[in-house]
C-alpha cells in the first residue's frame, strides 16, 4: 500500500477505527495486536492493544498473541485484519454461529481459505505457539491441525450477499474501490 493501512482515512474515521467500530457492534471486547513500534490511531475504550510478542513472524504470530490476550475473558474470537473496511457485523455474528462445537470456523470459496476472517477458540493459543516454535508460520496450519469447519461462502451470502467482509485493501486500487463502494 505504501503507507500504514490502519491509518488510512475512510470517511470520517481511520481504517482501524472503522474496523473496531464495526466489531464493537457484535463483541464487547476487542483485542488489537500491533507490532512493537506500530503507530495506532485513538481507539475506543473497549479495545485492548496488545503488542505482538514475535517480531516479523507474520499473521500466525499475531493470532497467537491475540488468543493469549483474550484467553482469560473469551472462549472464542473473530480474527480479522485492519484493512477490511467493508466488514459486516452480520457476517461476524454468522461466523460465531457456525463455530458450533468446533475449534475454528473459517470461510472458503473452495480455492482459498480466508484464515483472517474466521472465528477461533482461544484454547488454540497453545497450538499456534507450537506451530511457530516449529517454524510453521502459516495460519492455515492452525486450521488444518485443529477441529475446524470450513464454511462455504454460499453459507455467508444471506448476511453479506457481495461477500464484502472478505475484501481487504492490499493495494491503492483496492482502497479506492472500497471507498467507492461505501460512497466515501
Q: What is the distance between the alpha carbons of residues 28 and 45, in angstroms, rounded to a whole number?
A: 10
CA neighbor of 74 nearest in space, from 130, 27, 127, 143: 27
pTM: 0.94
Binned at pLDDT 50, 70 and 90, residue 79 comes out as: very high
According to the 3-state scheme, what is the secondary structure of 85-151? Answer: CCCCHHHHHHHHHHHCCCCEEEEECCCCECCCEEEEEHHHHHHHHHHHHCCCCCHHHHHHCCCEEEE
User: At 183, is the pLDDT very low, low, confident or very high (cuts 50, 70, 90)?
Assistant: confident
Separation CA 124–CA 115 (nearest Å) = 14
**Measuring CA to CA, which residue among 35, 34, 33, 38 is closest to residue 55?**
35
pLDDT confidence of 1, banded at 50, 70, 90?
A: confident
- Give the 3-state secondary structure of residue 26: coil
Q: How far is the C-alpha of 19 from the C-alpha of 6, rounded, in Å? A: 9
Q: Does 100 score more than 70 pLDDT?
A: yes
The CATH homologous superfamily of the domain defined by 5-182: Spore Coat Polysaccharide Biosynthesis Protein SpsA; Chain A (3.90.550.10)
Tally of residues, the chain: 184
Where exactly are the structural domains of the chain? 5-182
Q: What is the CA radius of gyration of the chain?
A: 16
Query: pLDDT value at position 184?
Result: 64
Q: What percent of the chain has pLDDT over 70?
A: 99
Distance CA 70, CA 122 (A): 7
How would residue 10 be classed by pLDDT, with cut points 50, 70 and 90?
very high
End-to-end CA distance of the chain: 19
Write out pLDDT tens, residues 17-57: 999 999 999 999 999 999 999 999 999 999 999 999 888 88
Amino acid at each position: 500500500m505504501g503507507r500504514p493501512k490502519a491509518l488510512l482515512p475512510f470517511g470520517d474515521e481511520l481504517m482501524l477505527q472503522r474496523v473496531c467500530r464495526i466489531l464493537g457492534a457484535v463483541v464487547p471486547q476487542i483485542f488489537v495486536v500491533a507490532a512493537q513500534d506500530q503507530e495506532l490511531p485513538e481507539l475506543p475504550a473497549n479495545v485492548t492493544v496488545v503488542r505482538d510478542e514475535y517480531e516479523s513472524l507474520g499473521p500466525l504470530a499475531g493470532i497467537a498473541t491475540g488468543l493469549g490476550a483474550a484467553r482469560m475473558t473469551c472462549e472464542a474470537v473473530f480474527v480479522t485484519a485492519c484493512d477490511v473496511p467493508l466488514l459486516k457485523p452480520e457476517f461476524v455474528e454468522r461466523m460465531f454461529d457456525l463455530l458450533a462445537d468446533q475449534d475454528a470456523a473459517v470461510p472458503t470459496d473452495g480455492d482459498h481459505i480466508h484464515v483472517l476472517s474466521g472465528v477461533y477458540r482461544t484454547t488454540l493459543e497453545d497450538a499456534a505457539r507450537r506451530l511457530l516454535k516449529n517454524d510453521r508460520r502459516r495460519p492455515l496450519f492452525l486450521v488444518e491441525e485443529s477441529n475446524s469447519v470450513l464454511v462455504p461462502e454460499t453459507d455467508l451470502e444471506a448476511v453479506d450477499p457481495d461477500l464484502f467482509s472478505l475484501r481487504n485493501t492490499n493495494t491503492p486500487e483496492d482502497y479506492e474501490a472500497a471507498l467507492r463502494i461505501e460512497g466515501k
